[in-house]
Structure 1
Amino acid sequence: MNLTFFDQFMSPQILGISLIILALLMPSIIFPTPNNRWLTNRLLALQTWMINAYTKQLMLPVNKTGHKWSLLLTSLMTMLLTINLLGLLPYTFTPTTQLSMNMGLAVPTWLATVLTGLRNQPTTSLGHLLPEGTPVPLIPPLIIIETTSLLIRPLALGVRLTANLTAGHLLIQLISTTTLALFPTTTILSILTMTILFLLMILELAVATIQAYVFVLLLCLYLQENT
């Protein structure tokens, strides 16, 4: 019985082709493409306003040198947000529940920020490993601790996104199964469980949005340290 609960986190395949590719292409398919017309429809105007709003919010902690990353970070935010929200629909697959995909997004982007700092300002970037005024006996262990903290950042990014979405989907699966099992015998208790499921869905909408924002915001903070 426990295996059936976790089947939803397996990457589905049709004729040996993984559907994770189709899920990753969905954000680019469902969003309308901006054009050069003076007048656009309401959907495109709302989309443009939202993208401009959270791009401005993301770039607040980053100086002007790092603003060239705005297109990459905004696209990543849009993709993660769309994938997380689409994954809450019935009979869908959420690629961000796969640790391999999240690590595939976290490691290259984190490594790019680190390499950018080492290229543009190597002294400042290496200075983060040893705060000024550290006593001499504490220098070796502090360097080891700070280096470990630096290397664990991409793992924390990927695991945080995976764990939050996986836990939410698993709770929805468990509560919905309980609701169906209780309905033939105890209708009142089943309705109560359905109410809990409705509240959990609202919570998961917030989690899906917040986790996409936190993922990209942490990358912005890492970029701020290296620009």
Structure 2
Amino acid sequence: MTLSLFDQFLSPSLLGIPLMAIAILTPWTMFPAPTTRWVNNRVLTLQAWFINFFTQQLFLPITRHGHKWALLLISLLLYLITMNLLGLLPYTFTPTTQLALNLGLATPLWLATVVMGMRNQPTHALGHLLPEGTPNALIPILVIIETISLLIRPLALGVRLTANLTAGHLLIQLISTAVFVLLSSMPTIAALTSTVLVLLTVLEVAVAMIQAYVFILLLSLYLQENV
């Protein structure tokens, strides 16, 4: 029986154990804990440089009141990057290809930024729903449009991450299947197709990191609007 290409995105299980849980928990075990020593090994030094660099990039335009989100967002960034990269290994599962997981990450954080903005500066937060200088006749329409735009943000975050990773995995599977089929009949074409597959894999490594960064960057922009 021919399986669907989307069967690779079903949550697998082994001996009744959902592998989804293992794939979600594995990234947390791959980062070494920082120490109090002045001189650390290369892994800890590189990790600290990475965290400091992206923290400065993300929180430079955000006021001091929003800097308390730094630990949460940087931890989520490292978690998403690791989970996306692990999903590119053979015989692995990528949890971030599941829309439910991505919405579960995006919705609470987006809602927290909205609630914080409504609590700390309600006038400024509500002001985003109506641009300055809007004609009176367009006020009801623009308020409805801006409200829908605000409510659709977590869905856009989740769908963007899911769609980019799913499309890349599908392309890798399609091209690898083509290489396997052409290997016996047209080995030259199969070798050229293998080159495309290698380049696509390198591209997917970049996409896995970029999409995790874009996810956190958009959350930081939502935070910037509400602090």
Give TM-score, length-normalised by structure 2: 0.97
Q: Which residue is 2:173 aligned to?
A: 173
CA RMSD of aligned residues (A): 1.1
**More moved, 28-37 vs 16-25:** 16-25
Q: Match of 1:185? A: 185
Which residues of 2 match residues 124-135 of structure 1 at below 5 A? 124-135=124-135
Match of 1:140 in 2: 140
How much does 1:4 deviate?
3.9
SS at match of 2:3: helix
Alpha-carbon distance in structure 1 between the residues aligned to 2:180 and 2:61: 47
Letter in 2 for 1:11: S
Match for residue 36 of structure 1? Answer: 36
Matches within 5 A, 1:64-213: 64-213=64-213
User: Shift in Å at residue 163 of structure 1?
Assistant: 0.2
Q: Which runs of 5+ in 1 are unaligned?
A: none
The number of aligned residues is 227
Distance in structure 2 (CA, Å) of the matches to 1:40 and 1:29: 19
Superposed CA offset, 1:38-59 (max 9, x none): 2211111111111111111111
**Residue by residue, what CA displacement relative to the aligned partner does 1:22-76 show, whole Å, maximum 9, x if unpaired?**
1122222111111112221111111111111111111122111100000000011
Distance (Å, rounded) in 2 between the aligned partners of 1:208 and 1:2: 29
Per-residue deviation at 1:115?
A: 0.2
Residues 61, 220 of structure 1: 8 Å contact kept: no
Moved over 3 A (4+): 1-4
| Shift, 1:16, TM fit | 2.6
Deviates more, 1:146-155 or 1:49-58: 49-58
% identity of equivalent residues: 66
Larger mean Cα displacement after TM superposition, 203-212 or 10-19: 10-19
- SS where residue 183 of structure 1 aligns? helix
For residues 17-36 of structure 1, the aligned pairs below 5 Å read 17-36=17-36
Q: Write the distance in 2 (CA, Å) between the matches of 1:172 and 1:127.
A: 45
Q: Deviations over 1:111-155 (max 9, x none)?
A: 000000000000000010011111100000000000000000000
